[in-house]
Amino acid sequence: MLKHLLSDDLPRSRFLTVLLVLILFGLAFAPFITSGARPLNTAATICVYIVLVASYDLLLGYTGIVSFAHTMFFGIGAYGIGLGLASAGPFWWIAFSGLLCALLLTILLALIVGLFALRVRAIFYAMITLAVASSFAVLASQLSDLTGGEDGKTFSVPALLSPSFHLFENEVFGRIIDGKVITYYLVFGVALMLFLFLLRVVNSPFGRVLQAIRENEFRAEALGYQTIYYRIAANCLAALVAALAGALMALWLRYVGPKTMLGFEVMTDILLIVVIGGMGTMYGAVVGAALFMLAQNYLKTLMLQASSALVGVPFLAEALHPDRWMLWLGVMFVVSVYCFPAGIVGKLRST
Amino acid sequence: MHPSATTATPVTATAPDALPQVPHDIAPLLLVPLLALLMLPLVGSLPIWITLTVAGLAMGMMIFIMASGLTLIFGLMGVLNFGHGAFVSVGAFTATLVFLPLRGWLEVDSLLLNLGVLGLAILLAMLVTGILGWAFERVIIQPVYGQHLKQILITTGGMIVAEQLINVIWGAEQIPLPLPASFRGAFLLGDAAIEKYRLIAVIVGLTVFAVMFLVLNRTKIGLLIRAGVENREMVEALGYRIRRLFVLVFAAGSALAGLGGVMWGLYKETLTAAMGGETMVMIFIVIIIGGLGSVGGCFIGSLLMALVVNYAGFLAPKLALVSNILLMITVLLWRPAGLYPVAQH
């Protein structure tokens, strides 16, 4: 059963299994083992990022395509649901039709960009997606009538998901089951399903072809596979999943804005997570996203202490300032590309 | 005259007839004047058109300075440096080491003194970015020659680290960088206002282009670089160490990015650590339009893009936001490998 659910792609490392089970249980019972808004927020962000990063891994790790447009699709999904709810009111059918429009736009854009740029080499695709994505971000922040500009838009979600909704009169295991908790479980459930779906995709015959393309495109072509179609299909699939992740994020935050949804920072976050977690392993996305988000939320506190302890030291105090945490992650990123190209998961599997 | 030249005369006299001439491809060259002329009736007023054109040319020159190094680096070794933007920021921030202490001299309204300070700042910026480029090539790029995926990842990582290091060294706030006194303002050409600094940018850009052109076409090193871009293996087979050449090109390209950074910083009048990343998008579009590896194409591409942005900004401000992409798509539909495709790539 479990083997079937995981598409026969087991963690293959005892420590990794323990880690994954811990993360799964942590996320599944997050509303009950923690209290307050912040840990729940971290947990929801982890769920969304797992899906986002896993879909990016389908491109980078499994097919060998470097794309910088992943945030664009993430943003389209978020804006689709967000702008729909903001303009027409909190109804389910609005949310779904907004999502549908976003998915259509996503597949159209992914197809166009793919047809246009995937015919040539990886490096070309990376540059073109970077240009397209940054133009899209500028467009979203400038067309303020439609998108709310730099400030973005806040909106209300359907009644079942809004914080004022209470499912039961009493607390359950010390937590009131309000709309926020229901939203969390919606995010968690969809994220889990999308992750298992991606796991199935990469272990399907289709996924094997993608890996063949990554290893040796010429040979894959010689075996009779039209590699261009497979690459475009992978691109569209990854874009669709990213858009769904964006929709989940928007639903959770009840807000869409260019910085959180389309900013280049999101793209670098995805890159860092996928490489540190482990390229070409779906589990890398889980481990990477969980560690990254925990670090983002809790490492900063640690760095603040270190920084204030070293206040007299000229360079270190500045370098350990909480806002500079990306410096250390960047260094870790470069080191892991050199020394552990398979990331944390690859390291765990090899020992 | 070289002594052997006299003996070689009979041979060289017949040689041009024997060698098939490479046909000159001038269509892309005509794009820039054609675009400018086409826009004249649309803009409708000559003075405004002159102002817009000069602004576009100035912006294009600055982008060219930043992009030319990257396209050469790619042309020679197939290394695409996603961290090129970091050198732009580092150059600009290094210039503040000169500008801020000598602020008094910048306030004096003397062209010579101002130019002197600017020259000093540029020199320092180019020196620092050149050395950094050399180190970057040795430490970061060399282990991943020929592995495109890793190159993209590693140079992106380098960019993140560099941006953060700038924040550590110079602080996270943006630094105002006022123009030197004698560069401020504009002078009138008829009714058209031309900003002085833009003229300086055009002159610097043209100088860089001319020097590059001469080095590439009239020196031994330039010959080797051009040959390397066309066919790397052949140059190696002839006994030249192309890697050594490449380090040189990489350092020079980084220094040019530093120079571009100083000019761009003065143009924007504020510095942020993210400025390199922001210019990166334009740089990529320009080198794609020009044809990866082609310096001439990069020059035309820069001018085209900047002119289009400026005209579009005046004629249809909303369209200006995506004009870069539209231009790129149009050019690639016409010539899928860029204006001047390079054979090897």
Q: How many helices (H) and strands (E) does chain A have?
A: 19, 2
Strand partners, A51: none
Largest CA distance in chain A: 65
B149 has a chain A CB within 8 A of its CB: yes
Selected for mutation to probe chain A from B140, B160, B298, B344 (highest A CB count within 10 Å) is: B160
Q: What is the pLDDT of chain B when averaged over all its residues?
A: 87
Contact B318 A138 (CB under 8 A): no
pLDDT on residue B8: 43
Q: Which of residues 43-72 of B touch A (CB under 8 A)?
A: none
Selected for mutation to probe chain B from A135, A144, A303, A338 (highest B CB count within 10 Å) is: A135
Distances (CA, A) of A309 to A317, A318, B32, B170: 8, 12, 59, 21
Contact B149 A135 (CB under 8 A): no
In this structure, how many other beta carbons lie within 10 angstroms of the beta carbon of residue B99?
A: 24
Give the tens place of pLDDT for each residue, B288-315.
999 888 889 999 999 999 999 999 999 9
Residue A315, classed as helix, strand or coil, is helix
Q: Which residues of A49-59 are buried (b: 16+ CB within 10 A; e: fewer)?
A: bbbbbbbbbbb
pLDDT on residue B343: 66
Residue of A nearest to B291 (CA): A124
Q: How far apart are CA A252 and CA A162, in angstroms?
A: 10
Residue of A nearest to B337 (CA): A120
Torsion of CA B285, B288, B291, B297, to 10 degrees: 0
What is the identity of the amino acid at A55? S
Domain range spanning residue B68?
Answer: 46-276
Any domain includes B13: no
Domain range spanning residue A226?
Answer: 2-350
Number of domains in chain B: 1
**Residue B194: CA count within 13 A, CB half-sphere:** 18
Residue of A nearest to B78 (CA): A123
> Is the confidence at residue B7, as pLDDT, over 70?
no
- Looking at the complex, report in whole angstroms how far the Cα of residue B171 sits from the nearest Cα belonging to chain A: 8
Q: How far apart are CA A182 and CA A135, in angstroms?
A: 36
Radius of gyration of chain A (CA): 21
Selected for mutation to probe chain A from B71, B73, B153 (highest A CB count within 10 Å) is: B153
Quick one: DSSP state of residue A153? E
Residue A118, classed as helix, strand or coil, is coil
CB A53 within 8 A of CB A288: yes
Record the tokens describing residue A1, joined without a space.
């059963």
Selecting from B80, B154, B160 the residue whose C-beta is nearest the C-beta of A326 gives B160
In this structure, how many other beta carbons lie within 10 angstroms of the beta carbon of residue B218?
A: 9
ipTM score assigned to the predicted complex: 0.85
Q: How far apart are CA B40 and CA B58, in angstroms?
A: 18
Give the tens place of pLDDT for each residue, B33-58.
999 999 989 888 888 999 999 999 99
Per-residue tens of pLDDT for chain A, all 351 residues: 888 888 888 888 899 999 999 999 999 998 888 888 888 999 999 999 999 999 999 999 999 898 999 999 999 999 999 999 998 888 899 999 999 999 999 999 999 988 877 776 667 888 889 889 988 998 888 888 888 888 888 998 888 888 888 877 777 777 788 888 999 999 999 999 999 999 999 999 999 999 999 999 899 999 999 999 999 999 999 999 999 999 999 999 999 999 888 988 899 999 999 999 999 999 999 999 999 998 888 777 888 888 888 877 777 777 777 778 888 888 988 888 888 888 899 889 887
Q: How far apart are CA A50 and CA A188, in angstroms?
A: 10
Distances (CA, A) of B222 to B40, B67, B173, B232, B235: 38, 18, 41, 14, 13
Contact A337 B285 (CB under 8 A): no
Quick one: DSSP state of residue B186? E
The CATH number assigned to the domain holding A24 equals 1.10.3470
Any domain includes B322: no
Give the tens place of pLDDT for each residue, B130-187.
999 999 999 888 888 878 888 888 999 999 999 999 998 888 888 888 888 888 888 8
Cβ neighbors of A183 (< 8 A, separation 6 or more) are: A44, A157, A161, A251, A252
Residue B272, classed as helix, strand or coil, is coil
Say which residue the tokens 């949804």 belong to. Answer: A261
pLDDT band, very low/low/confident/very high, at B13 (cuts 50, 70, 90): very low
Any domain includes B100: yes
pLDDT on residue B108: 79
pLDDT on residue A115: 86
CB B226 within 8 A of CB B216: yes
- Looking at the complex, report in whole angstroms how far the Cα of residue A281 sits from the nearest Cα belonging to chain B: 16
Distances (CA, A) of A18 to A243, A277, B166, B299: 30, 16, 40, 56
> Is the confidence at residue B79, as pLDDT, over 70?
yes
Give the pairing of strands B270-271 and B192-195: unpaired
> Is the confidence at residue B14, as pLDDT, over 70?
no
> Is the confidence at residue B4, as pLDDT, over 50?
no
Residue of A nearest to B167 (CA): A324
Any domain includes B124: yes
Q: How far apart are CA B200 and CA B222, in angstroms?
A: 27
pLDDT band, very low/low/confident/very high, at B344 (cuts 50, 70, 90): low
pLDDT on residue A36: 80
Find which of A239-253, B17-31, B222-236 is predicted with most confidence, using mean pLDDT: A239-253
Give the tens place of pLDDT for each residue, B238-272.
999 888 888 999 999 999 999 999 999 999 988 99
pLDDT on residue B18: 64
- Looking at the complex, report in whole angstroms how far the Cα of residue A247 sits from the nearest Cα belonging to chain B: 25
Contact B332 A315 (CB under 8 A): no
> Is the confidence at residue B9, as pLDDT, over 60?
no
pLDDT on residue A143: 87
Contact B161 A327 (CB under 8 A): yes
Number of domains in chain A: 1
